[in-house]
Amino acid sequence: MTTEPFDISSWPPSLTPIQLEALTLYATTYALSHGLLYLLPGPQPAIPSAAIHAPFSLFPSPFPRKLFETGKRIQRTYNVLYARIAMDEEFLDRVMGTKTGVGKVDDFIGQLWTGWKQLRDEGLAQHLHLGLFRSDYLLHALSNQPLSIKQVEFNTISVSFACLSQRISELHRYLLSSTQYYNCSPQLKPENLPPNRTISGLAEGLAVGHKAYNVQGSRILFVVQPGERNVFDQRWLEYELLEQHSILIIRQTFEELAHSAIVDPHTYILRVSCSTDIHPSGSIEISTVYYRAGYMPNEYPTPAHYATRFLLERSKAIKCPTIALQLAGGKKVQEVLAQPGVLERFLRDEKRYGKDGIFSEHEVNELRSTFMAMWGLDVGEDLLTADYDSISSGKEGFGLLKARNDAHALVLKPQREGGGNNVYKEAIPAFLNSLPPQERQAWIAMELIIPPEGTGNYLIRAGTIQAESQAAVKADVVSELGIFGYALFGGESREVKEKEVGWLVRTKGKDSDEGGVATGFSVLDSLLLVDS
């Protein structure tokens, strides 16, 4: 007996007003009781005294089971791919450096690359890299073709919302167990809500780095942003590290580390000074530096901030990520990977990686199938008025002219993380007119992913002390799937130890182009696996 494919546009199921109010109360009180929290907006006191629940969806969002399994499967290929990119200095110099790459036109990238190059010339004290990764996807729906997943981006620094994503997954399971969602849909059953263990998975990744450092009494340093509202997403990792791995952490900002971080000039051991009231020795040896900050230019307002980053990089501590791995996550690298033969360089080259290190043609093609078309904007001013039809791909001028002509179906991306940085569709021509020619190399054009139409959900956002919380608001939505992984790699063997470790879903109103939760565009969500 065959089952009819699930119609994603039929979501969410219908509820009566009384059912909706009851579910909203169940959900918000569960969120507040189980640490699905943000600190309040505004300046943060030294000791927090109030919090609100993070924004979330009332229902899990439908997602094709086979495509979810595909995303989990290829994460392990992506883990190895980006590890190998980070170890390929020649490739990163060419693509991201200040001589031929993005670094010559993007000051932020240029500063990071220049500091990394100087440290390489001096001789790096630590050759191991640690990465906590997240690969983000949208469903792609073309007429008369089956649904597919297409990659939005691959994140190599400060991947967030892993812990709160586990909590929202547990919230939806709780609603199903406690209310059966009032039997509003036969799809809502336990076997369609996949388990999510991102807290233990990412903590395991950090513990792998800590254990590779192998010094008793050392701790993991969390480099954090001042006034961080999303602190609970980080604290759950801290608790897991202590409870399951007996590893302690210390949290400091770049500003604090400028005064507290010391690298021994002979051993390159990184120590963070502290009061003897906190630690008897007055300093703590650091095994692993975990960045939840440092991915945006505004986090380096002075040369001293860059100096602090390079001081940490100079040390013997294992960095998550290294500057090399942060550069590997640049959008320009994503674009170059889509060019013919580049994936084969990293995944199919037996001379580089040996017979046991190469991936099958099928595995490479499966990963490549998640790419959208991408190209760079680095073109010459003299071809701005050239005839579009006379220019073929790869010639000077093609990228910019194609972006102008196809703007309605594109997004422009800079080398930035964190949301709110992209330029979309109708806004592209005016932006291109204002973009100095020397800055074009820092941007890529990417064809827009076309998500399925008609999917909805109820979105719940908390208010503040001054304003009451919103009720659940029904909206047409788009959901983005993120798959997490970790990798420890480098050293003499250049071996990559990696694992796929969980997932998240972020859901936004369909009229919003951006997708960040912390930036206010999206809510946290979880999966309802369906057969499509």
Q: Which residues contact 328 (CB under 8 A, 6 or more apart)?
A: 82, 85, 86, 92, 156
pLDDT score for 5: 83
Q: Which two tokens stand for residue 395?
A: 């010639």
- Write the DSSP string, 7-64: -GGGPSPP--HHHHHHHHHHHHHHHHHTT-EEEPSSPPPSS---EEEPPEESSPEEEE
CB atoms inside a 10 Å sphere around CB 491: 13
pLDDT score for 247: 98
pLDDT score for 1: 43
Q: Which two tokens stand for residue 460?
A: 């719940």
Hey, is 344 helix, strand or coil? helix
Active site residue 153: yes
- The CA distance from 285 to 272, in Å, is 7
Q: Which residues contact 481 (CB under 8 A, 6 or more apart)?
A: 63, 68, 71, 136, 137, 138, 149, 503, 504, 505, 527
Give the single-character DSSP code of 266. T
C-alpha distance across the termini of the chain, in Å = 15
Which residue numbers belong to the known binding site for Mg(2+)? 153, 155, 417
What is the signed CA dihedral for 344, 349, 353, 357, rounded to 10 degrees?
Answer: 60
User: Alpha carbon of 504 to those of 1, 24, 104, 434, 480: distances in Å?
Assistant: 33, 21, 35, 36, 8
- Residue among 57, 79, 135, 160 flagged as catalytic: 160
pLDDT score for 418: 62
Q: Which residues contact 59 (CB under 8 A, 6 or more apart)?
A: 11, 12, 13, 172, 181, 188, 457, 458, 528
CB atoms inside a 10 Å sphere around CB 378: 19
Burial state string for 317-335 with b = 16 or more CB within 10 A and e = fewer than 16 = bbbbbbbbbbbbbbbbbbb
CB atoms inside a 10 Å sphere around CB 399: 24
- Residue among 238, 285, 313, 417 flagged as catalytic: 417
pLDDT tens string 361-394: 999 999 999 999 998 887 433 333 333 343 344 4
Hey, is 229 helix, strand or coil? coil
- 12 upstream amide cis, omega within 30 of 0: yes
- Residue among 79, 155, 185, 315 flagged as catalytic: 155
- Residue among 79, 101, 153, 456 flagged as catalytic: 153
Assess contact for 111 and 473: CB atoms under 8 A.
no
- The CA distance from 412 to 419, in Å, is 13
Among residues 149, 153, 227, the alpha carbon closest in space to that of 515 is found at 153
Residue listed under structure tokens 């991915």: 295
Active site residue 160: yes
Hey, is 137 helix, strand or coil? strand
Give the single-character DSSP code of 276. T
- Residue among 134, 309, 314, 319 flagged as catalytic: 134
Q: Which two tokens stand for residue 245?
A: 């791995």
Which residue numbers belong to the known binding site for ATP? 153, 331, 413-422, 424, 446-449, 480, 508, 514
Domains of the chain: 8-369+450-530 (no CATH), 374-447 (3.30.1490.50)
Q: Which residues contact 517 (CB under 8 A, 6 or more apart)?
A: 54, 55, 160, 161, 506, 523, 524
Active site residue 417: yes
Q: Which two tokens stand for residue 366?
A: 């499966």
Q: Where would I find the beta strands (DSSP E) of 156-298?
A: 219-223, 249-252, 261-263, 270-273, 283-291
Q: Which two tokens stand for residue 425?
A: 């569709």
Q: Which two tokens stand for residue 370?
A: 């998640």
Q: Are strands 37-39 and 51-53 parallel, antiparallel or unpaired?
A: antiparallel
Q: Are strands 495-509 and 128-140 parallel, antiparallel or unpaired?
A: unpaired
Type of residue at 347: L
Assess contact for 313 and 323: CB atoms under 8 A.
yes
Sign of CA dihedral 161, 164, 166, 169: negative
Ordered per-residue pLDDT tens for the chain, 532 residues = 446 788 888 999 999 999 999 999 999 999 999 999 999 988 888 898 899 999 999 999 999 999 999 999 999 999 999 999 999 999 999 999 999 899 999 999 999 999 999 999 999 999 999 999 999 999 999 988 999 999 999 999 999 999 999 999 999 999 999 999 999 999 999 999 999 999 999 999 999 999 999 999 999 999 999 999 999 999 999 999 999 999 999 999 999 999 999 999 999 999 999 888 788 888 999 999 999 999 999 999 999 999 999 999 999 999 999 999 999 999 999 999 999 999 999 999 999 999 999 999 999 999 999 999 998 887 433 333 333 343 344 444 678 888 988 999 999 999 887 667 899 999 999 999 898 888 888 899 999 999 999 999 999 998 644 445 567 999 999 999 999 999 999 999 999 999 999 999 999 988 765 545 554 578 999 999 999 7
Q: Which residues contact 449 (CB under 8 A, 6 or more apart)?
A: 138, 139, 140, 150, 152, 372
- Residue among 271, 316, 413, 440 flagged as catalytic: 413
Convert 397-421 into a string of H (helix), E (strand) and C (coil): CHHHHHHHHCHHHEEEECCCCCCCC
- The CA distance from 480 to 524, in Å, is 10
Which residue numbers belong to the known binding site for substrate? 134, 157-160, 228-230, 234, 292-295, 506, 517-518
Which residue numbers belong to the known binding site? 134, 153, 155, 157-160, 228-230, 234, 292-295, 331, 413-422, 424, 446-449, 480, 506, 508, 514, 517-518
Backbone angles phi, psi at 457, to 5 degrees: -165, 170
pTM: 0.93
Active site residue 155: yes
pLDDT score for 516: 53
